[in-house]
Amino acid sequence: MTTNDVATLHPQELNISRLVEASPELLFRGWTEPALLMQWFTPAPWKTIGCEIDLHPGGRFDTLMQSPEGQEFWHRGVFLEIVPNQKIVSTDALVSGWIPSAKPFAVLTVTFDKEGTRTRYTGRASHWTEADRDSHASMGFYEGWHKALDQLLDLVRIL
């Protein structure tokens, strides 16, 4: 497995892609049901302790993350596109009500493509600037997204 194994669409993008043993339907549920998302979304030892999802374009996608030291951080955004069991696009450039956010960081695109009995899971983070991309990479984008995906796979195995 490589950490940058998908062709980039533009210079401000980071991405991961893995062929996984899970159905698109279960992966989609893990991303779109708050009770499920809170169990895997933040790479351990961080936790997701709050989640609000209004699953439609313009709908709220807010998560409350907690550091190992107990600090809490809201990540607020909206969905831009939802294709059930296939694709989720969200951004923090806007918040609920199509209101511009104070500091946009990225547009996130997650796709679930059926390949035989497995699914190609692809996550893309498209940043506003190369500096934002570099900051996200230095915060552990690749390790964090792969670890979170492992946590999601552990969860969907028991659903």
Q: Is residue 6 part of a domain?
A: no
Q: Is residue 159 part of a domain?
A: no
In this prediction, residue 152 carries a pLDDT of 98
In whole angstroms, give the CA distance from residue 40 to residue 31.
9
Condensed to tens digits (0 to 9), the pLDDT of residues 81-126 reads 999 999 999 999 999 999 999 989 999 999 999 999 999 999 999 9
Spatial contact of 123 and 110, defined as CB atoms under 8 Å apart: yes
How sure is the predictor about 6, in pLDDT bands with cuts at 50, 70 and 90?
low
Q: Which domain holds residue 49?
A: 13-154
Q: Specify the CATH number for the domain of residue 38.
A: 3.30.530.20
Q: Is residue 99 part of a domain?
A: yes
For residue 116, give the DSSP letter.
Answer: T
Condensed to tens digits (0 to 9), the pLDDT of residues 12-29 reads 999 999 999 999 999 999
Continuous segment of H or E residues that includes residue 25: helix 24-32
- Does residue 1 have a pLDDT over 50? no
Q: Is residue 63 part of a domain?
A: yes
In this prediction, residue 2 carries a pLDDT of 39
Half-sphere exposure of residue 48: CA atoms within 13 angstroms, side-chain side? 22
Q: Is residue 7 part of a domain?
A: no
In whole angstroms, give the CA distance from residue 87 to residue 78.
14
Q: How many domains does the chain have?
A: 1
Q: Is residue 2 part of a domain?
A: no
Condensed to tens digits (0 to 9), the pLDDT of residues 50-92 reads 999 999 999 999 999 999 999 999 999 999 999 999 999 999 9
Q: Is residue 3 part of a domain?
A: no
